[in-house]
Amino acid sequence: MWSLAGMAAPPVPTGWLRYADPATEGEVFRLTDPSIESWMPALPARAVTRRGNLLLFARRFESGWQAWVMDLTKGAARPLSVTSGMIPRSLSLSSDDRRALFFSNQGLEAANVQGTRSQTVYRCREGWGPASAITPSEDGTALWFVETDGRRWALQRLKAPKWTVETIVESATAILAPAPNPRRAQVLYRGENGELFTANFDGRSARAETPPGRVLEAGWSPGGNEIEYLFEPAETGRLVEIRERSLDERADKLIAKTSQFAGFARNANATVFVGASRSKASANVLLLLRKTRREFTLCEHKAQDPSRVNARFTPDSQKILFQTDRDGAPAIYMVNVERLVEKTET
């Protein structure tokens, strides 16, 4: 199934490189030039439009970082705006796919993905600056992000359409990766020591009970009833696990043990997970089937830092995007998985 031999492959878009993966002989596409540093938004921020046709990413030039979009059907890429001091880790697509959101020297900006115009919708308080990606709520009613002054961290909710800001949680320790629930008035975030927290919009927060260890990444299930998280047990020698915590039942269960995932993401219906192994001997991108708990090697990543591979599915679950510095500067890669993963609604 994976062999390229005898296949009449369609032409590769200009600027892309197609190659056979050394580990599986599967077809892999390198989408960006490894001589120019490129990064996708990190989860829970959004990188791909719901139709799966546009990819948002950041590129680094001598003049600084710029937001770019790429047509995933034709391969053409173009810059969105020339903004001084863009912060690449803040980048995300808006929930309606119309704007790129990011922090710059001007503040929180929204740039039209079809043009070069941008609008500043929020400015940080004096002495404060952004400390996370911007994560839009699924219904488009708010943007979520973290601010810090170096001593305190504030979880902020920026409410549309007037862009008024509301502090949900303030902490003396770092607040990481805020993710609004897709169905409830609730937000999920991590603490700097691997703790897992949920907070209601009225500011009431609580630590989610997990086994002894450290939460590496976390996100909501499609229905918002469960938290799916990547977990490193405290006990030496145990494998990294994907676990699930139910909010209503207050129960925590194992989904599957992994071959030492450094990061993970689910597909649209949470039946398949993709992860990047941190094993130096098998530095691969892997698929894990929830039902059977089986893993399949998709391709090599060979990244110096596996936690930054940032592998994710496109909304229809038919492609996987990831990034690695295996060929030089960090670049973005893509693998088609339509023969392995059932198509999902976008």
Please write the tens of the pLDDT for every residue from 101-112.
999 988 999 999
**Per-residue pLDDT at 21:** 97
Distance CA 322, CA 186 (A): 29
Q: What is the pLDDT of residue 14?
A: 86
Confidence (pTM): 0.93
Q: Are 210 and 234 in contact (CB under 8 A)?
A: no
- Per-position pLDDT tens, the chain of length 346: 344 444 456 788 888 999 999 999 999 999 999 999 999 999 999 999 999 999 999 999 988 999 999 999 999 999 986 677 899 999 999 999 999 999 998 899 999 998 767 889 999 999 999 999 999 999 999 999 999 999 999 999 999 999 999 999 999 999 999 999 999 999 999 999 999 999 999 989 899 999 999 999 999 999 999 999 999 999 988 999 999 999 888 899 999 999 899 999 999 999 999 999 999 889 999 999 999 999 999 999 999 999 999 999 999 999 999 999 999 999 999 999 999 999 998 6
pLDDT of residue 9: 64
Q: What was the pLDDT predicted at 39?
A: 97
**SS3 category, 331:** strand
Q: Identify the CATH number of the domain defined by range 41-271.
A: 2.130.10.10
- The DSSP line for 179-244 is EE-SSSSEEEEEETTS-EEEEETTS-EEEPP--SEEEEEEEE-TTSSEEEEEEEESSTTPPPEEEE
The residue among 190, 266, 286, 177 whose CA lies nearest residue 222 is: 266
In angstroms, the CA 78 to CA 171 distance is 39
Instruction: Judge whether 115 and 100 are in contact, CB under 8 Å.
Output: no
Domain boundaries defined on the chain: 1-30+272-346, 41-271
Start-to-end C-alpha separation, the chain: 26
